[in-house]
Amino acid sequence: MKKSVLFFSVALLSIFFVSCKKEDAPVDARDKFVGRWFGNFTIAIPAAGVNETDTLTHIISKNPANANQIIIDSLQFATINGDSFTYLPLTQTDTDPTTGLSTTVIFNGSGSITNGTNMTETGTISINAAGVTLNGTFSSNLTKQ
């Protein structure tokens, strides 16, 4: 009888432990974007004769104030959707202290991750200086470091 009670107790405990599944921690969709990304960046502004490719490093972090946003290079916010993100429009105006002339840059774009380690971005840039507007495009191909 003692063996039956012991066997029954062990069986009952086994069922209890098997049926109690450990809760999975919630996954933050921004995690796949966070980190250091390195690669090539191309900008083209035809009216200015600009068509250049250079290297680029992005440092991406989570926006602590918005669970659907990342921060790129500490200044550009982007909203994520799956493996993609869309930059929030960024307008920056600088005034030359010597001449008093202002230059405004408007930056828009989007990007996506493939294979967890490759990111591509595309977008537009508009520069207005002294009443003249120059429009261009940019693109990048980056790898997570």
pLDDT tens-place string over residues 13-38? 455 555 555 667 788 999 999 999 99
Assess if residue 59 is contained within a domain: yes
Q: Which domain holds residue 125?
A: 28-144
Q: Determine the Cα–Cα distance for residues 109 and 97; give it in Å rounded to an integer.
A: 30
What single string gives the DSSP state of each residue in 56-115? EEEEEEE-TT-TTEEEETTTEEEEEETTEEEEPPEEEEEE-TTT--EEEEEEEEEEEEET
Q: The domain that contains 51 carries what CATH number? A: 2.40.128
Strand partners, 113: 119
pLDDT tens-place string over residues 67-122? 999 999 998 999 999 999 999 999 999 999 999 889 999 999 999 999 989 999 99
CB atoms within 10 A of CB 113: 19
Assess if residue 76 is contained within a domain: yes
Assess if residue 1 is contained within a domain: no
| 15 burial type by CB count under 10 A (0-12 exposed, 13-18 middle, 19+ buried) | exposed
Q: How many domains does the chain have?
A: 1
Assess if residue 51 is contained within a domain: yes
CB 138 within 8 A of CB 121: yes
For the entire predicted model, the pTM comes to 0.77
Q: Determine the Cα–Cα distance for residues 86 and 111; give it in Å rounded to an integer.
A: 7
